[in-house]
Structure 1
Amino acid sequence: MPSCKHKEKYALGIIILFPSLKDPFSPKGYLNQDFLLLFGAETASKMLEKLDTTFRPKVINEARHLTQSIELCRLLKAAEKLTENERKRTKISPSDAVDKMLHFHKSCCSLDEHLRRRDGRQPYILAVGRTRNRMDTFYIVVDKQLNPCQATSSLGAFDELFKSDYVFNLSYDEYLGQLFTFVQTVFNIDVATTNESPRVREFRAKVFN
């Protein structure tokens, strides 16, 4: 009889080959596995590998040269603190952009109640925890369906949020199109054929060089 460890490896191999067999309520999630099948291991790991060492300092530096606002200063401080511790192009504020990507839900409250209140079909991150500073579990919500994240951090959850557009064959949110187009170039997906705005191309050149 194979050991439990070997059984888990066999099960993981089956799930990678046949993602539809994955239990959607498993805490390990399956978005990464489907994305891995679509683009391969090297592409799937690009953002998490390069963000801290390559992109984060350059993004922070670019943000310092933008017109300063209270919201931008708050986001800059959060990004700097994080560094120390470890297709319609519509303009919206940084806080509204965050609100379209991430929602906090207290662990003592009903998830069903949250899903009933939410409209729209664009994926977003649902972070569950006792407080905003102590988020224990992340989900990708698509069409009011909860998909558990494999990630245990907000960065990992964002990584899976981006991948969900490809796994579920969805278009980018109209308000977040430029952000996701830039992230798409991080993964080096369809860079030559993607309709980038001049601002995204300029920013990508600064960050990658």
Structure 2
Amino acid sequence: MRIDSEAKRLVESILIQKPGGEQIINEYNRTKSLGDETRRKMVNILAADMTEKNGSSPPRQVKEKYARGIVALFPYLSDPFSKNGYEHYYDGESGTGYLAWRIKTIQRGLAKERRTSFEGQGPSAEGMSGGPTIRREPQFAPEAVLSEDECKEAIAFMKHSADEDSVKMKMKLTFDYRHGMVLDPVQSNNILTVFPRFKDIKGLIKQDFVLMFGGAVSGKLLERWPTMFKKKVIQHCKNLPTTSDVQELLIAAEHPTDDSEESANFVWDSDLSSKLLLLHLIPPSAQGRKRPGKVSASQAERHLVVFKKSGTNIEEHLRNITGSDQPYLLAVGPQKNAVHQYFIILDQHAIPCKSTSSLGAFDELFKAHFVFGTNYNTILHNMYTFIQTVYNIDVGKVNESPRVAEVRVRLLS
């Protein structure tokens, strides 16, 4: 009983101190249970605390103590059919349970970070890596650096403030704190929990991107795509082998005034069609050691943008998501070429785009990878590394296929 009391106090103190922890306790007090998302948050918080204090491989007795503390603090979560009641959180005999699985995820993230760091060692280390997940020095230099307590006060203020301008200012002031979380494999999954205003205040992704790269870089896609790239992409795609998919996109990209109901339901607008042509000009990629089967450009499109009719229940769409956590666009409107709202879908969260144009929404989607430190979808890796060229981000520093370099030369000549 003494040990369980000690474990209970440990878990309770962690949840009280960590962002989002009190909501977990409140939900249990209200319902005598925890929903799936709340349980995941609790496990993430406790596993993060455990690895911070005990390293990435905590001893068995430590993991058991945290598991005991969970069911001591929340007795209705105890499993009466197991030996100790907490095995579903950690079973020392089999090494399984929610805490064990989360710690393994943390270990994989740390191992990947170490591999990336090791592969970049040497005299040209900084010149051999690039993309949304690398460490870089932000352009933003705050006039005043907030202490950790001041950051927590600002975070608490933002969660309940109805003043959008004040929230945007606080988001700017907490940028360094948030950027540190993004680069921390233990905390990166909690960004939208700690900073939930991304999900209801439009423009915060662009604001963080500007703080990272500056306003000149941020505006390059919207400036350069219509004037430098769009017509050339269309022209080069006319030389590709003729397929119905390519022809449909070419017509939509060149003739945006076709408002027939049949066309509107199946064809995207001109700007998005020109973006999707890139998937045919630069075929989908298969990166890494475990190369997936060949994916067509039309199949890759579904990893970039998904269309739903107006009136779609967004929460239901989020619940039905399975598989990859890489962000994609959800386009909502009466028909494909008349989209009224775009959302960035990331890890079962919907972030509304500020722009209602397809080009502006794609711009925000690309920036979201850097703001949240998210890898490109493997299938879309070639296309995204080419888009880095448009922004002039890490050109020559990112692993790219010969086809990306070839198309870049053609379109910039």
For this structure pair, what is the TM-score category when the shorter chain's length is used for normalisation?
0.7 to 0.9
- The answer for the alignment partner of 1:92 in structure 2 is 295
Alignment of 1:1-209 (within 5 A): 12-18=168-174, 23-82=197-256, 88-89=286-287, 91-119=294-322, 120-209=324-413
1:165–1:23 CA distance, 2 compared to 1 (3 A): same
Q: How many residues align?
A: 203
Q: RMSD of the alignment, in Å?
A: 2.5
Residue 27 of structure 1, CA deviation? 4.7
Larger Rg: 2
Highest RCO, 1 vs 2 (Cα 8 Å, sep ≥ 6): 1
Query: Gaps spanning 5+ residues in structure 1: where?
Result: 1-6
SS of 2:396's partner is coil
Unaligned stretches of 5+ residues in structure 2: 1-162, 179-194, 259-269, 272-284
CA 1:165 to 1:57, structure 2 compared with 1: closer, same or farther past 3 Å?
Answer: same
Normalised by the length of structure 2, the TM-score is 0.45
With structure 1 as the length reference, what TM-score do the two structures score?
0.86
- Is the 8 Å Cα contact of residues 125 and 161 (structure 1) preserved in structure 2? yes
Matches of 1:63 and 1:181 in 2, distance apart? 19
Percent identity over the alignment? 40
Change (3 A) 1:11 1:173: closer
CA–CA distance in structure 2, aligned partners of residues 54 and 124 of structure 1: 25
The offset of 1:17, in angstroms, is: 4.1
Q: Comparing 60-69 with 103-112, which one deviates more in the overlay? A: 103-112
Choose 47-56 or 90-99, whichever is displaced more. Answer: 90-99
Q: How many Å apart are 1:193 and its aligned residue?
A: 1.3
CA 1:150–1:175 in 2, change beyond 3 Å: closer, same or farther? same
Q: Distance in 1 between matches of 2:255 and 2:173?
A: 40
Assess if the C-alpha contact under 8 Å between 1:102 and 1:126 holds in 2.
yes
Instruction: For residue 16 of structure 1, report the CA deviation from its aligned partner.
Output: 3.8
Residue 105 of structure 1, CA deviation = 1.8
Distance 1:145 1:139 in 2: 9
Cα distance change of structure 1 residues 29 and 107 upon mapping to structure 2, 3 Å threshold: farther
1:82 Cα deviation (Å)?
4.1
Distance 1:82 1:44 in 2: 26
Higher strand proportion, which one? 1
Q: CA offsets per residue over residues 172-195 of structure 1, 9 Å max, x none? A: 111111100100111111112112
Task: Classify the secondary structure of the residue corresponding to 1:126.
Answer: strand
What's the counterpart of residue 189 of structure 2?
none
User: Residue type of the partner of 2:320?
Assistant: R
Q: Does 84-93 or 146-155 show the bigger shift?
A: 84-93
Q: Deviations over 1:73-115 (max 9, x none)?
A: 1111111124997962564323212211111122222111111
Query: Would you say the 8 A contact 1:27–1:149 is kept in 2?
Result: no
